């Protein structure tokens, strides 16, 4: 069966640790850089003429780096996945979930399927939300998720997935952040139907949701973390955020990510930040054992797993858009160096850096 897309992935939040909205100075820095770029290109008269066409201006801006014409975004982790004839999939409920919820509310109230690729009657109002782990930056968006507040015939059912923990149940993790005085609406007053499936950390079993297959694997992070592989019609997307490489590629991730089309990987730190070198953005304290990784290990892992595209994500909240582009440039140079090594002969790898609104159509 032919589909316009076997998997559509959209990023709604790609920051790590804490939300970081733009400040006034950030916007001024972008304006200065943009004006300097226009002057370097000959000025507005040369670029657009005496009567600028809005479409020409838009085209010009779209060719510029995101640091000048947009932003990588300040919301924490949230990724939407659409697969044919399957329920809508969401990875993590960071603050990016709020904007995703506003968009889904439009689909919901206009009578559409939550997943546009689902043409079946089944699971039209179902959301399957997979938590990588329960740290606050990955759950804090759910109290602001608009579809969860819709009652009546368009009420949604949210299926929550997360790790099994002997200390606390998944339902209690979510209920806890909405207890007084943390939030004015308690968990049980949200109209959506709620179902929970706690996943075993050992001997993980694949899940089948419509035409989509979901596999998962525990990786290294404080309190542990799950990486997920979503596969449909031979196309695969792997999310491995909040994971640490230690001193070698993780064989568990290699097995999960093998031959994937896209690997989203935690690249929060520069290599020197991870080591704790003096004078770095994050301070002269080693980030070893903090549970995050670097672009170097994102690229090494992707090459070892024979991944086609690696996406650098879970961005350090202290890093502005200009600094993210510096990281990206270093990552691309590092990838070229790695591809020249004998062990990577014949391999190809596309390196991307995540931003809110980025999409893959596989």
- With 70 as the cut, is the pLDDT of residue 1 above it? no
Same domain, 96 and 64: no
What is the C-alpha to C-alpha distance for residues 140 and 200, in angstroms, rounded to an integer?
Answer: 23
How far from 5 is each of 175, 235, 323, CA to CA, in Å? 36, 10, 33
pLDDT digits (tens, 9 = 90+) for 65-93: 999 999 999 999 999 999 999 999 999 99
Contact at 8 Å (CB) between 91 and 110?
no
Same domain, 284 and 313: yes
In a domain, 197, yes or no: yes
> What is the DSSP pairing of strand 126-130 with strand 157-163?
parallel
Q: Which of 352, 97, 91, 355 is nearest to 227 (CA)?
A: 91
In a domain, 3, yes or no: no
pLDDT digits (tens, 9 = 90+) for 4-31: 579 999 999 999 999 999 999 999 999 9
Cα of 278 vs its chain's centroid, Å: 30
What is the C-alpha to C-alpha distance for residues 20 and 74, in angstroms, rounded to an integer?
Answer: 5
What is the C-alpha to C-alpha distance for residues 258 and 261, in angstroms, rounded to an integer?
Answer: 9
User: Which 3 state secondary structure label does DSSP give 251?
Assistant: helix
Same domain, 238 and 308: yes
Concatenated DSSP letters of 4-51: S-S-EEEEEE-B-SS--PPPHHHHHHHHHHHHHHHHHTTHHHHHH-SS
Mean pLDDT of 330-350: 97
In a domain, 326, yes or no: yes
Same domain, 192 and 212: yes
Same domain, 41 and 161: no
Same domain, 194 and 145: yes
> Can you read off the two tokens belonging to residue 222?
């404080």
CATH number for the domain including 78?
3.60.15.10
In a domain, 2, yes or no: no
Which residue matches tokens 């799950």? 226
Domain span holding position 193? 8-21+72-361
In a domain, 1, yes or no: no
Mean pLDDT of 123-135: 96
238 forms beta bridges with: 229, 263
> What's the N-to-C CA distance of the chain in angstroms?
15
Give me the number of domains the chain comprises.
2
Angle between helices 321-339 and 295-304 (to 10 degrees): 40
Q: What pLDDT is stored for residue 4 in this prediction? A: 58
In a domain, 112, yes or no: yes
> Can you read off the two tokens belonging to residue 246?
């230690």
How far from 189 is each of 36, 42, 182, 184, CA to CA, in Å? 53, 59, 15, 10
Cis, peptide link before residue 181, omega less than 30° from 0 = yes
Mean pLDDT of 309-325: 98
> What is the DSSP pairing of strand 8-13 with strand 359-361?
antiparallel
- With 80 as the cut, is the pLDDT of residue 196 above it? yes
């Amino acid at each position: 069966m032919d589909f316009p897309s076997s998997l559509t992935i959209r990023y709604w939040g790609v920051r790590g640790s804490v939300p970081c909205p733009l400040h006034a100075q950030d916007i001024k820095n972008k304006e200065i850089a943009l004006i300097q770029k226009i002057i370097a290109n000959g000025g507005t008269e040369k670029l657009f003429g005496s009567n600028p066409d809005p479409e020409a201006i838009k085209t010009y801006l779209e060719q510029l780096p995101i640091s000048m014409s947009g932003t990588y975004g300040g919301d924490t982790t949230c990724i939407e996945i659409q697969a044919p004839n399957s329920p809508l999939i969401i990875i993590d409920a960071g603050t990016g979930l709020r904007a995703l919820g506003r968009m889904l509310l439009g689909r919901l109230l206009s009578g559409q399927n939550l997943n546009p690729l689902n043409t079946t009657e089944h699971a039209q109002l179902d959301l399957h939300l997979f938590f990588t782990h329960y740290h606050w930056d990955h759950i804090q968006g759910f109290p602001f998720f608009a579809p969860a507040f819709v009652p009546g015939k368009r009420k949604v059912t949210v299926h929550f997935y997360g790790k099994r923990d002997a200390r606390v149940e998944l339902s209690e993790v979510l209920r806890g952040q909405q207890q007084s005085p943390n939030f004015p609406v308690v968990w049980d007053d949200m109209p959506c139907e709620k179902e929970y499936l706690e996943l075993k950390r050992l001997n993980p079993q694949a899940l089948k949701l419509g035409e989509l297959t979901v596999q998962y694997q525990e990786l290294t992070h404080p309190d542990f973390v799950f990486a997920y592989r979503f596969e449909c019609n031979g196309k695969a997307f792997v999310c491995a955020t909040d994971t640490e490489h230690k001193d070698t590629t993780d064989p568990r991730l290699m097995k999960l990510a093998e031959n994937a089309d896209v690997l989203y990987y935690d690249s929060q730190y520069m290599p020197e930040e991870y080591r704790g070198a003096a004078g770095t953005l994050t301070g002269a304290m080693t980030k070893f054992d903090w549970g995050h990784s670097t672009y170097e290990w994102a690229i090494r892992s992707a090459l070892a797993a024979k991944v086609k595209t690696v996406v650098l994500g879970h961005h350090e909240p202290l890093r502005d858009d200009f600094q993210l582009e510096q990281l990206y440039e270093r990552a691309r140079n590092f990838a070229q160096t790695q591809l020249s090594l004998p062990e990577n002969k014949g391999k190809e790898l596309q390196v991307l850096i995540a931003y809110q609104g980025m999409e893959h159509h596989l």
